Amino acid sequence: MSTTTKPLSQIRNFAIIAHIDHGKSTLADRLIQTCGGLEAREMTEQVLDNMDIERERGITIKAQTVRLAYKAKDGIEYQLNLMDTPGHVDFAYEVSRSLASCEGSLLVVDASQGVEAQTLANVYQAIDNNHEIIPVINKIDLPAAEPEKVRKEIEDVIGLDASDAVLASGKSGLGIDDLLEAIVTRLPAPKGDTTAPTKALLVDSWYDAYLGVVILVRVIDGYLKKGQKIKFMGTGAVREIDRVGMFTPKKVLLDALGPGEMGFITAAIKDISDTKVGDTITDERNPAAAPLPGFKPSIPMVFCSLFPVDASDFEKLKDSLGKLRLNDSSLHYEMESSQALGLGFRCGFLGLLHMEIIQERLSREFDLDLIPTAPSVVYKVYKTSGEVINIYNPVDLPDVVHIEKIEEPLIKATILTPDEYLGGLLQLCQERRGVQLELTYVGSRAMLVYRLPLNEVVFDFYDRLKSISRGYASFDYELDGYQENDLVKMDIRVNEEPVDALAMIVHRSQAERRGRGLCERLKDLIPRQMFRIAVQAAIGGKIIARETISAFRKDVTAKCYGGDITRKKKLLEKQKKGKAKMRMYGTVEIPQSAFINALKMGDDQR
C-alpha cells in the first residue's frame, strides 16, 4: 500500500474557539502564512472566510479546514489540520461536527475584552468532546490589553488552567512560534489503525460548480484512495472516489488520506442531500463493523416568511432558496400564500443570525427585494382531541376552542456584561418573562443566566441588549425545552379584516403592549384615505388596542369642462394601475409598503 500519508504521531488536529472579533481569523491567517501555506502576496484578510458576508461581518459560517506543514523544534515536520469553526450559537451544529473531528482546541480570548458569553458554550462543547485546550490570549500588543486579568477570567469563569496560556498577536505575529510549538507538544496525536477497514467521518459537504459535491472528511481508520469504492453507512449509497485532496488552503490533490488526516473527496455526487453530515464512510468490499456515532440533525428554531416585494420575483426566490439549500441543509422552506403579501415562503432557520444571513444573501447574491415577516418560533399545541401539533406560522393556530394548551420553546441565556449595565439588562430580561437562574461577578463583570421564552428573544432582544449595554454585553443561548404558557394569537385588523402577515402569537401579558405598538405604528404608516380606517389589535373577538386613521377631506378636480373629460378619464385609468401594489381591506386599500415598514421596525421602537 503506497501512502503519502503521515504517521499518526506527526499529526495534530485542532479547532479554534473564539468570540466574534477576538481575532480568530487573523490568527488563523498568521498560522497559515508562518507555515508557508500561502505566500504573503496571496494572503487576503481572513483567508478562510470565503463568503463576502463572512469577511464583512467578521464571522465564520461554514467550517473550513486547512492542512499546514510545520517543522517543529524537534526537527520533525508535523501535519497540522486547522479546523476553522463558526462561533455563533446558530451554528452550534457546525461547531459540534468540527469539534468531533479534532483532538484539541485553541481557545482564543481577546486580551482587552475578556471572556464572552459565546466563548463559554463552545468551550464547554470542546470539553465535552475530550479536547485538550490551549488558552491563547490574543491581541496582547493592544494598549488596552490586560493579559493577567484575562488569564484570571479564563480560570474563574471557565475553570481552565490558564497558567501556561500562550500570549500572542495575530496581527503582529507575536507568539505565533510559541503557539505552533504548543500545538505540537501539548495537543495529543490522533488515534487510529492503518490496518483496520476504512472508517471516516463525513464532517461537511457542499456543492461546487466545478467538482460537484465536495465532501470534507476526517479519516479514523484505514485509507481513502482515488478509485476506491466507498459506502455511506447511513444512507447505504455506494460511490467511487474520483478525487482525494486537501486544502492548504489551496486545493491540492493527493493519492490518499490516512488515519488521523483531514481532507476532501469527490465521488461524482450531484445532490448534496445524498451526503448526510455525520455519516460514516467505509470501504464497500471491506466495510467497518460499526459506524461512528452520528450527530443529531439540526432543527430549525426560528421561522419567518419571506415574500418578494415584486410578485413576479416569486420564481426567482424559489430558485434562490433552492441554491442556498444546496450548501445549507439546515435551511427549511415551504410555499406560503398570504392575503396581504401574496406568494412567498415560510422559512425555518437555526437561529436569528442564520435568518439574517440567509435574508442578506438572498438580497445580495440573488438581488431579491424581500419582505420578511416578524420572526416566530415553533409552538407545540395540544388539541382537545388529544392530537399534538407543531405550529410554525401564527396563522395556522387552531381556534381556541380546540386548544387544550400551548407550549413554547425556552432558552437558557448567558449574558456577560460590565456591571454598570446590569440594572438595564435585568429589567430587559424581566420584561421578556425571564426567570433568573444565576447572577455571578467576575471582577467588574457580571454573568447573568436567565431562562427565557425564545419568542421573547427572536424579535429585537439582541438589539435591545446591545443598546442598553452600549455594545459591551455579550449574549449566548442554548435551547432549554418547552413549557406551557398563557399564549394567545393576536390579530391585527384593518377595518375589521385580519391582516394575516401581521398575526403573532404572544403571551397574554405582552399582548396589549405589543398590540398598541403595532397599531400606533400602522397609524403612521397607512396614508389617509377616502374612508376612515380602524386599525385594531384583537385576541379572538376581544379588541385590545385600537387606532383610527381619519379620512382625507379633499380630493377633487377643480375644473371639468368639455375638454377636461378625456384628461380626467386618463387620470382615472392611471389611478387604477397604481392600485396594483395595494391590497383591499374592506373598503380600504393599503399600500404594501405600509406592511413592509410595519414589519421592518422592531416591536418596541417608538
Partner 1 sequence: MNTALYIHWPFCAVKCPYCDFNVHVAQDIDQARWAVAYRRGLDHYAQLLPDRAISSVYFGGGTPSLMAAETVAAIIAHIKALWPLAPQAEITLEANPTSTEIEKFKAFRAAGINRLSLGIQALNDQALKFLGRKHDAAAAHRAIETARSVFDRFSFDLIAARPGQNLKDWEDELKQAAQLSGGHLSVYHLTIERNTPFYFQHAQGLFNLPDDDLSADLYERTQDILGAAGLPTYEISNHAAHGHQSAHNLAYWHYRDYIGLGPGAHGRLTLNGVKHATREHQAPPVWLDRVENSGSAAHAFEPLSEQMQFEESLMVGLRLSEGISFSSFSVEGETFEKKIRTLIAEGLLERTQTHLRATLAGRMKLNAVIGFLLADSQEQTSTGAQTV
- Residue numbers at the binding site for partner 1 (CB under 8 A): 528-531, 551-563, 565-566, 568-569, 571-572, 575-576, 579, 587
Tell me whether residue 227 or residue 562 sits nearer to partner 1 (CB atom): 562
The three-state secondary structure class of 343 is: strand
Minimal distance in Å, beta carbon 519 to partner 1?
A: 22
Tell me whether residue 437 or residue 571 sits nearer to partner 1 (CB atom): 571
Minimal distance in Å, beta carbon 529 to partner 1?
A: 8
| Opening angle at CA 462, ends 459 and 464, nearest 5 | 90
Tell me whether residue 143 or residue 563 sits nearer to partner 1 (CB atom): 563
User: For residue 118, what is the DSSP state?
Assistant: H
> Could you tell me the end-to-end alpha-carbon distance of the chain, in angstroms, rounded to an integer?
71
Minimal distance in Å, beta carbon 591 to partner 1?
A: 15
Minimal distance in Å, beta carbon 575 to partner 1?
A: 5
The three-state secondary structure class of 202 is: strand
Helical segments of 142-273, H only:
147-153, 176-186
- 173: phi > 0 → left, psi -120 to 50 → alpha, else beta; which? left
User: For residue 402, what is the DSSP state?
Assistant: G
Q: Which residues pair with 340 in a beta bridge?
A: none
Minimal distance in Å, beta carbon 463 to partner 1?
A: 36
Minimal distance in Å, beta carbon 543 to partner 1?
A: 21
Taking the C-alpha atoms of residue 438 and residue 177, their distance in angstroms, rounded to an integer, is 40
Place of cell 391585527: 492
Residue 104 · residue 183 · CB < 8 Å: yes
Helical segments of 439-563, H only:
454-457, 461-468, 508-525
Minimal distance in Å, beta carbon 578 to partner 1?
A: 10
Tell me whether residue 41 or residue 554 sits nearer to partner 1 (CB atom): 554
Dihedral angle of Cα 365, 369, 373, 378, to the nearest 10 degrees: -30
Minimal distance in Å, beta carbon 562 to partner 1?
A: 5
Minimal distance in Å, beta carbon 565 to partner 1?
A: 6
Tell me whether residue 293 or residue 563 sits nearer to partner 1 (CB atom): 563
The residue ranges of DSSP E strands in 127-222, in sequence order, are 132-138, 166-167, 199-208, 212-221
Taking the C-alpha atoms of residue 356 and residue 331, their distance in angstroms, rounded to an integer, is 12
Tell me whether residue 40 or residue 572 sits nearer to partner 1 (CB atom): 572
Minimal distance in Å, beta carbon 561 to partner 1?
A: 6
Contact residues for 76 (Cβ-Cβ < 8 A; gap 6+): 10
Taking the C-alpha atoms of residue 597 and residue 372, their distance in angstroms, rounded to an integer, is 10
Tell me whether residue 542 or residue 574 sits nearer to partner 1 (CB atom): 574
Nearest CA to 600 out of 524, 533, 535, 546 is that of 524
Please give the helix or strand (H or E) that residue 542 lies within, else none: strand 542-549
Tell me whether residue 4 or residue 575 sits nearer to partner 1 (CB atom): 575
Backbone torsions φ then ψ of 420, nearest 5 degrees: -65, -20
Residue 54 · residue 249 · CB < 8 Å: no
What type of residue is 439?
A: L
Minimal distance in Å, beta carbon 551 to partner 1?
A: 8
Tell me whether residue 441 or residue 552 sits nearer to partner 1 (CB atom): 552
Tell me whether residue 196 or residue 582 sits nearer to partner 1 (CB atom): 582
Tell me whether residue 191 or residue 567 sits nearer to partner 1 (CB atom): 567
